[in-house]
Amino acid sequence: MKLTVVVVCLSVAVMTVLIYQALRQEVDLRRQKTLLVDNSAEVKRKEMAIVEAKKTIQQLKASLGTINEDIEGLKKKKEENDKAAQEFEQGLKTCNSEKEDADKKKTEVSAAMDKLKTDQEEAKKKAEQDIQGLKQQILDRDKAICAFVDTTKEEARKLCGIAEAPK
């Protein structure tokens, strides 16, 4: 009997320990299940955040692509503007050199014209002096001729400028 009591007590003790272990395992399982649910909810929230971040990244990539295209377009425009500016600069240099050449030619032509005017004035003065000399020679010759001309003839008087001869 004692043995039965001891076996019963031991059985009750073992049963109690087994029940305690089972309850503790059940509580641990429930707690882990709750943690699992909480963790899976957290994972879903983080996955949603990642999906949103990916969408934002895609949108930023798309807008970045557009911005890169705009930058390329602006670079091309800048290159075209630089090329046009160089062409204008070259045209300006050419125009300035042509202007300098034209100014030189103008100065040369102006100097040549001034020289021609001076030469013409000198030639004119010389011609006038020659004309005056020739006129004087003609007058002297006329006077010499008139001195020898017969003043009785009307034509001779006219040519010599003598008034009518006294009668």
Q: What is the DSSP track for 54-114? A: HHHHHHHHHHHHHHHHHHHHHHHHHHHHHHHHHHHHHHHHHHHHHHHHHHHHHHHHHHHHH
In a domain, 54, yes or no: yes
- Whether 110 is in a domain gets the answer yes
Q: How confident is the model at residue 156 (pLDDT cuts 50, 70, 90)?
A: confident
In a domain, 167, yes or no: no
Confidence (pLDDT) at 167 = 52
Asked whether the predicted pLDDT for residue 166 surpasses 80, the reply is no
Let me know if residue 165 belongs to a domain: no
Query: 13 vs 160, which has greater pLDDT?
Result: 13
Confidence of residue 160 (pLDDT cuts 50, 70, 90): confident
The residue segments making up the domain with residue 128 are: 2-160
pLDDT band per the 50, 70, 90 thresholds, residue 158: confident
Q: Model pTM? A: 0.42
**pLDDT tens digit string along 76-86?**
999 999 999 99
What pLDDT does residue 148 have? 78
Q: How many domains does the structure of the chain reveal?
A: 1
Task: Supply the mean pLDDT for the chain.
Answer: 91
Residue 39: inside a domain = yes
Q: What percent of the chain clears pLDDT 70, i.e. is strictly above it?
A: 98
More confident residue, 162 or 47: 47
| CB 157 within 8 Å of CB 151 | yes
pLDDT confidence band for 143 (50 / 70 / 90): confident
